[in-house]
Structure 1
Amino acid sequence: MRTLIQGILLAAVAAAAVTAPPLQAAEQVFFSFDDHSIPLQHNLKLTLVPVTKHPDNPVLRRGPAGAPDHGHAVLYGTVLKEGDTFRMWYLGMHETENKSGQAAGWWRPMCYAESKDGVHWTKPELGLYEFNGSKKNNICLIESDLYSLTRVNDFLSVMHDPEDPDPSRRYKCAYIAHQPFEDVKGGRSKIGPNEKRWGAFVCATSADGLTWKVVGDRPANAGGERFEVSGLYKFGDFYYGTGQLLSPWVSRADGSDVGRVMLAYRSPDFVTWSKAKAFSMARPGQLANPPAKGQQMHMGAGLWNRGNVMVGLHGMWQDAEAKPPKGESWNYGVRIDLGLCVSNNGIHFREPVAGFPMIARGKEGEAWDDIGILQGHAFVNEGDKTMIWYSHWDTGGKLKTMEIGLGTLRRDGFGYVSNQVAENEAEFITTTFTGGKVSLNVDGVTADAPLTVQLLDHLDQPIEGYEVKVTKNGLHEAVGFAKPLPAGKKVALRVVFPAGSGAKVYAVYVE
């Protein structure tokens, strides 16, 4: 069985490696909520659109007793679509030590699932790892000379890197391992409390996404501070590992304490990582004076690389209103929704609308996802929809319905701009770009109230012969200029909404 499954997957991976587009996509996306890509606006308002939850949620459930994901099945992980197959890497949970030498904390094995529609999932018997006396399970194999580096304890992020010339490195992942201090080659910083385990930022590579080899003999953050990595992507010339920390390992700019915030490390080669880190994002209330009570950012963000921009969902943590009752979990009463974030440099992220829940937890006591929502790196554009997978976290520690759900949006429909004062004209101007074909993700346009699209030079002056009316709606409605854009010249777009327009512009695309 293992030979058959491995052969099929390796063949699919090989084909994907040949046909997959480069990571830095040929298409630039100027989202309506991205005020760096669309910096100049007049009489426009931004409306974010919350995700619609699938009626069959949760779409991937935990396994039966004895399965590696019986404790829970959570999208501390990733969903990618390759060819006609959705591939999911997620974490199960095993509550007891599987071998001598395991670091403290639950072992959360890297599990694998597949789907043809993103809704109905199968858990193939990979035959790679013996669990409860059998290899008939969906656990991926992680290999290293140091056993504690192979034990995933928390968040997992997988990326496909088809541009890597080494086929054995075309899948990359990062995860947290709670290593014993004595296992940390290269030492660690003395900042922070004297814990019994260390938050290790571990990297691994794979040819097929199923059998993994740890990079090197130590964590990426060896010699530095603990780090709870939760994200991995390539942007420009660097790989980035993002995740969370809180004081005393990180502070606000003035040195004062801060709760959970997102940090980023980077590497040019996926082997050597920066010791210095970037303060990537905090929720606005965390940086206020005084800080908003109980507001934190949970586990950085689940991220989607769109070539010229990073978009994602971050955990909007809110502390419990009171201390946990005696005998309850330390984070009993914590509630988490997911908010939208965006970055134009792969390092610094921001919320387009502070505090807006793109995926809100369900109604208390009634919904399967009513306590805390967990983000994954799980975004796929499929047909006319953007599909987003997420998980539920029972912060009370009872593992209640900790499974995986699906939400959808209009394709790239996270939000739109429209006339703020309906009876007045409105407009926006994009950042500059060079060459290419232009199209709009737009709705609400009519023949009687079309959008006017002008091409501007780098000094905002209209270029003669480049003005058209857009009268049709669509997810990728072409802007039909009469001639190709000027080659090699920096240009921008002005999009004008007439008075009384009901148009909604979700995104501008430049191919």
Structure 2
Amino acid sequence: MKLLFFDPYHLESWRNVTFEAHQPVKDESPVLVPEHPWEAWRAFPISNCVMRDDAGFRMWYETGYDERSVPGDRLNRTAYATSADGIHWEKPALGQYDFKGSTDNNILNLGPFGVHNVSVVHDDHDGNPNRRYKMTYFAMPPRKNFSPIPPGINVAVSEDGVRWKLACPMEEPAFRAWRDVVPGRPTSSDTHSLVGWIPERQRYVIMARNVSLVPYMFRTIGYSESADFMHWSEPINVLSPDEHDPWGTEFYYMTVCRYEDLYLGHLCVFHNYSRRLTAGRPDTAQVPPELAYMNQRLDMKLVYSRDLQVWRYADADRGAFLPVGESGAWDSGMVFGSSILPVDDEVWVYYGGTPMRHIVEDLQHAGSDAHHRMCGGLARMRRDGFVSLRAGTEPGEFVSRPYELTNEALTLNSHTWDDGEISIQVLDAESDTPRSAVVTVRGDDVRMPVDFDLAALYGQKVRLRVTARNADLYAIDL
């Protein structure tokens, strides 16, 4: 069992320690760029669409071309890429989709209409090998008056993640678009994230995007579940902007993954501060100067939950986990969180990025030059490095709750600096009786060994007393 220190959940008592949030470091250049005619100006991951398996890395990314094949066509499409190292990506010809008379491209055949916001998971729960991979996406038929097919979230299944079959009729999507309400059918806006099968709930889960109309129309995060992946509950609201967020804040969507004993949410925040000008607030005639740069931009915040219902911010100050780039950078306008993957001693954070803002003035020029395109990026941090329990120059201390020892040795993910150190001792589960000597470690290691012989305590419940100085403790592996 691994203890992560996002909050005091694992602590029985503590003093003189703080919870410090950390950010990943972005690679300087994007790892995925539009380079083919059928990609036009966009090749970017959005939502839960990157995974790693025995064959390497796989990505289902959003792309789209600029020439409408039918009146009112929505040009978004989904393409497939593979990589041996997660950095250099190949776009194999799939032979599925006809683009200007040729199927020599990597576009997936998900139907004749626009496809937006694909989410893909590998499903170990479903015993049917033909349904091993699950996909959700927002189907975008030609605009109203051009097609009888309704927009909404469709679900699809696959044996290999490449050849897909709809699990529900296109005429009856699993979710109807929120503007197209049908009695008895759940509704959602276009952007969402498939979480997958949740064993403790015995349900598949989607984090949908809800729309609130009070006090004005704005986006929030909803939760929906299904026993069979086809019939879904009406999304309930689980995360909304509140009084601590500037007026005009919206939650665009949230990608969720399981990480150890937590669910991590990659919360995409839309800084729609210009809404102040039209929301009937007489005291907000203009966007405040301190908010002006972020106006109409999107960045990412990290939230976490233990039950997918109650969400908390990893950074108590609600700072960005993945901020937009500096002015002029390839991701200075919007970042769209995708997948969070443990890779060796690091955590890799995939995301989509663009220098364009979420305004018509930018988007109507999409593809006109390198400034007006959307790409895929990668940011990295140490494994378990989201939040640390920090002690400064004055020593801090905590005692853990009782936990069963599941290993015969302890390892720490920790970093000490200057004359810093971390000392740890095993205590009885119900008293302060020592069950080990005090062992002190120093240095920087994601798997710092603690020189205990715990074989005699294996399988027993114990508590840990930890004292530290000039140190960050990210995790303890029991």
TM-score interval, smaller chain:
0.7 to 0.9
Q: 1:123 to 1:180 in 2, by over 3 A?
A: closer
Identify which of 98, 115, 124 aligns with 1:130: 98
CA drift of 1:228 comes to 3.0
Correspondence 1:271 to 2:257: no
Q: RMSD value over aligned CA atoms?
A: 3.1
Alpha-carbon deviations, 1:83-102, whole Å to 9, x = none?
251111101013444457xx
Identify which of 318, 337, 343 aligns with 1:382: 343
Identify which of 477, 481, 497 aligns with 2:448: 477
Q: Which residue of 2 aligns with 1:209?
A: 161
Q: 1:182 to 1:317 in 2, by over 3 A?
A: closer
2: CA distance, partners of 1:417 / 1:436: 22
2: CA distance, partners of 1:170 / 1:296: 34
Structure 1, unaligned runs of 5 or more: 1-27, 184-195, 325-331
Alpha-carbon deviations, 1:306-358, whole Å to 9, x = none?
2521113211221244869xxxxxxx950122111111113332212242112
1:359 alignment partner, SS class: coil
CA drift of 1:466 comes to 4.4
Correspondence 1:48 to 2:13: no
Alpha-carbon deviations, 1:114-147, whole Å to 9, x = none?
112222111111112222211110112226xxx6
1: CA distance, partners of 2:464 / 2:69: 61
CA drift of 1:449 comes to 3.5
1:136 alignment partner, SS class: coil
Correspondence 1:295 to 2:249: yes
Provide the identity percentage: 22
CA drift of 1:247 comes to 1.7
Is the 1:320–1:335 Cα contact (8 Å) retained in structure 2?
A: no
Is the 2:255–2:265 Cα contact (8 Å) retained in structure 1?
A: yes
CA drift of 1:390 comes to 0.9
One-letter amino acid of the counterpart of residue 292, structure 1: P
Question: What does 1:160-171 correspond to in 2, within 5 Å?
Answer: 160-171=122-133
Is the 2:303–2:313 Cα contact (8 Å) retained in structure 1?
A: yes
Q: Which residue of 1 aligns with 2:318?
A: 355
1: CA distance, partners of 2:17 / 2:420: 20
1: CA distance, partners of 2:310 / 2:69: 39
1: CA distance, partners of 2:242 / 2:227: 31
> How many residues end up aligned between the 2 structures?
431
Correspondence 1:220 to 2:174: yes
| Larger deviation, residues 334-343 vs 305-314 | 305-314
1: CA distance, partners of 2:14 / 2:150: 47
Identify which of 362, 370, 388 aligns with 1:416: 388
2: CA distance, partners of 1:81 / 1:128: 23
CA drift of 1:239 comes to 1.4
CA drift of 1:443 comes to 1.3
Structure 2, unaligned runs of 5 or more: 177-184, 279-293, 367-371
Q: 1:463 to 1:125 in 2, by over 3 A?
A: farther
Q: 1:199 to 1:60 in 2, by over 3 A?
A: same
Alpha-carbon deviations, 1:474-497, whole Å to 9, x = none?
2123445433476766x4643422
Q: 1:493 to 1:96 in 2, by over 3 A?
A: farther
Question: What does 1:48-447 correspond to in 2, within 5 Å?
Answer: 48-55=21-28, 57-64=29-36, 66-67=37-38, 69-77=39-47, 78-98=49-69, 106-142=74-110, 151-152=114-115, 154-178=116-140, 200-217=152-169, 218-221=172-175, 223-233=185-195, 234-236=197-199, 237-248=202-213, 259-275=218-234, 277-282=235-240, 286-288=241-243, 292-299=246-253, 301-321=254-274, 333-353=295-315, 354-364=317-327, 366-376=328-338, 378-393=339-354, 394=356, 395=358, 396-397=362-363, 398-399=365-366, 400-420=372-392, 422-430=393-401, 432-437=402-407, 438-444=410-416
Is the 2:74–2:141 Cα contact (8 Å) retained in structure 1?
A: no
CA drift of 1:235 comes to 2.5
1: CA distance, partners of 2:55 / 2:390: 36
CA drift of 1:180 comes to 7.6
2: CA distance, partners of 1:46 / 1:210: 42
One-letter amino acid of the counterpart of residue 268, structure 2: G
Is the 1:201–1:229 Cα contact (8 Å) retained in structure 2?
A: no
Alpha-carbon deviations, 1:391-417, whole Å to 9, x = none?
114223133131111111112212311
2: CA distance, partners of 1:132 / 1:243: 34
2: CA distance, partners of 1:117 / 1:39: 41
